[in-house]
């Protein structure tokens, strides 16, 4: 992973897919996959009550890794991912500038037994304000 002088942009996530990966190809034929990944954390509040929070991460992968994800990953599957955080802007259908932050995955490992039932119930990611259409993205 390329790094600037004195900086690091590296993300490691272990979580469950919120949706099946969506595998698409750019006009030039390069594969890319997109999906959401849920990570959970739990803690006790000041009163000693257990609290839990789920964070949703937008994941994108390119090339052969994207094709593998599209073939093998399904909603609910637990995976280990490494990558980098990337923020970019694009223009939506109405001409408004929008920003998106994603984890660009470059390493993936499926977790759990190959034959294990990985369909554990996973809530769908929350909808953000305003639609984010794939057609709005600049690739």
Q: What is the pTM of this model?
A: 0.75
Spell out the domains of the chain, with CATH numbers in brackets: 7-88+104-112 (2.40.50.140)
**Rounded Cα gap, residues 18 and 106, in angstroms:** 19
pLDDT per position in the chain (139 positions), as tens? 556 688 999 999 999 999 999 999 999 999 999 999 999 999 999 999 999 999 999 999 999 999 999 999 999 999 999 999 999 999 999 999 999 999 999 999 999 855 444 444 445 555 444 434 444 444 4
Taking CB atoms within 8 Å and a gap of at least 24, the contacts of 35-43 are: 35/59, 35/69, 35/73, 36/125, 37/13, 37/79, 37/81, 37/103, 38/122, 38/123, 38/125, 39/13, 39/14, 39/15, 40/15
C-beta of residue 78 within 8 angstroms of C-beta of residue 90: no
**Where on the phi/psi map is residue 114: left (φ > 0), alpha (ψ -120 to 50), or beta?**
alpha
């Amino acid at each position: 992973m390329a790094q600037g002088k004195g900086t690091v942009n590296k993300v490691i996530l272990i979580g469950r897919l919120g949706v099946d990966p969506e595998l698409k190809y750019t006009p030039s034929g390069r594969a890319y996959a997109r999906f959401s990944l849920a990570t959970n954390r739990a803690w006790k509040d000041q009163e000693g009550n257990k609290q839990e929070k789920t964070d949703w991460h937008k994941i994108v992968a390119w090339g052969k890794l994207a094709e593998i994800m599209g073939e093998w990953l399904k909603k609910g599957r637990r995976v280990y991912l490494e990558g980098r955080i990337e923020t970019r802007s694009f223009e939506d259908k109405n001409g408004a500038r929008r920003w998106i932050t994603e984890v660009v995955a470059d390493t993936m490992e499926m977790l759990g037994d190959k034959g294990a039932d990985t369909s554990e119930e996973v809530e769908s990611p929350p909808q953000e304000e305003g639609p984010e259409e794939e057609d709005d993205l600049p690739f």
